[in-house]
Structure 1
Amino acid sequence: MTVHSLRRLLTCSVAIGAVVLGALLSGLSHADNTPKNATAEAPNVTASDLDRVFRRSTLQIATPDARLHQFNVWIADDDQRRARGLMFIRELRADDGMLFIYPQPHPVSMWMKNTYVSLDMLFVAADGKVLRVVEKTKPLSLDTIQSGGPALGVVELPAGTAARLKISAGAQVMHPAFSAGR
């Protein structure tokens, strides 16, 4: 490679890197400067909008009092869908929710950034057992919510659902994503 070719390659690489870095930084600064209570500026995502991005499924939860509860869930099974989650949704029906599925069990951390509805989060082990329930999460919060152990999935339901249906640690989530649901 000649010195001229090397200079041209280096110049192009630097220019491309600057464009990519600029795009990344502008995206980060926009995201980081979003007001916490910017409800007027934030999109209003509906169930129909979620149906265009996420596939739907059903899951059942067996509670310790021997009751079975069924939910219609959107599936967040890749990095892009898991990152989006229920952001910008303003309401959920009582039997709606989202199931986050990970490739393998690991400690999971969630937050409520850009999430306008309070949720109950169920952290679920690979065998479908609920490890931990976090009730009535705070909308728009950047606080980290931990799984408390290796989770393969997280079920998000409208706030108050866990208490109303007596869903607690040890409940069984039945869905093909979990070994007990297969």
Structure 2
Amino acid sequence: MGGLLRALTLGGALILGGALAIWPGPSQAAPECREDAVYLRGDWGSARFSVEIADSVGERARGLMHRESLPRSAGMLFVYHQSTAVAFWMKNTLIPLDLLFIDARGVVQKVHARAVPHDLTQIPASDVKAVLEINGGLAKAMGIGVGSEMLHPSFGRDAAWSCD
């Protein structure tokens, strides 16, 4: 694959760098809403990530600092009690990350690709309910972009893709 991540969808399965993640296809039931998982969907297809939740001030401040690796199908979901302006940086973060900024309806509003480890430059966004951090370059490789919808219990009944 020449150092380039490639995604291939086959009847409800995603094969990505040797990892396999199952998600519901159009004819299958909706996925189960769980605190420890997020589902994303869009014109590009669908994906599932196992997530750690950062919903307190301390957890959000620590984030993924000092981690030497992150499994490809994993991430960290920063959840805010209400929509707010945020600014992230990569202080003490050892791996490149993609940051997906998500509004109160669970829709990706901004993607910051390949944030540079240890960079202190702020990465801002406004009107954010959640931020998903995943491995750097993965959003582009999978096609995840602005307009993609997230399924997670943090989003209410008015979400674009609701748990209800």
Tell me the TM-score range normalised by the shorter chain: 0.7 to 0.9
Q: Does 1:177 align with 2:157?
A: no
Q: What stretches of structure 2 of length at least 5 have no aligned partner? A: 1-34
CA distance in 2, matches of 1:178, 1:111: 25
Deviation at 1:139, TM superposition (A): 0.2
CA distance in 2, matches of 1:63, 1:89: 29
Q: Does 1:75 align with 2:53?
A: yes
SS at match of 1:123: strand
Which residue of structure 1 lines up, in the alignment, with residue 133 of structure 2?
Answer: 156
Which residue of structure 2 lines up, in the alignment, with residue 142 of structure 1?
Answer: 120
Q: What stretches of structure 1 of length at least 5 have no aligned partner? A: 1-55
Between Structure 1 and Structure 2, the one with more strand by share is: 2
CA distance in 2, matches of 1:100, 1:143: 19
Q: Percent identity?
A: 36
Which residue of structure 1 lines up, in the alignment, with residue 42 of structure 2?
Answer: 63
- Kindly provide the amino acid, as one letter, of the partner of residue 43 in structure 2: P
Deviation at 1:68, TM superposition (A): 1.2
Between Structure 1 and Structure 2, the one with more helix by share is: 1
Which residue of structure 1 lines up, in the alignment, with residue 145 of structure 2?
Answer: 168
The answer to whether the 8 A contact 1:64-1:170 is kept is no
- Kindly provide the amino acid, as one letter, of the partner of residue 139 in structure 2: A
Give the length in aligned residue pairs: 125
Which residue of structure 1 lines up, in the alignment, with residue 99 of structure 2?
Answer: 121
RMSD of aligned Cα (Å): 1.0
SS at match of 1:73: strand
Runs of 4+ in 1 over 6 A off after TM superposition: none
Deviation at 1:64, TM superposition (A): 2.2
- Kindly provide the amino acid, as one letter, of the partner of residue 153 in structure 2: P
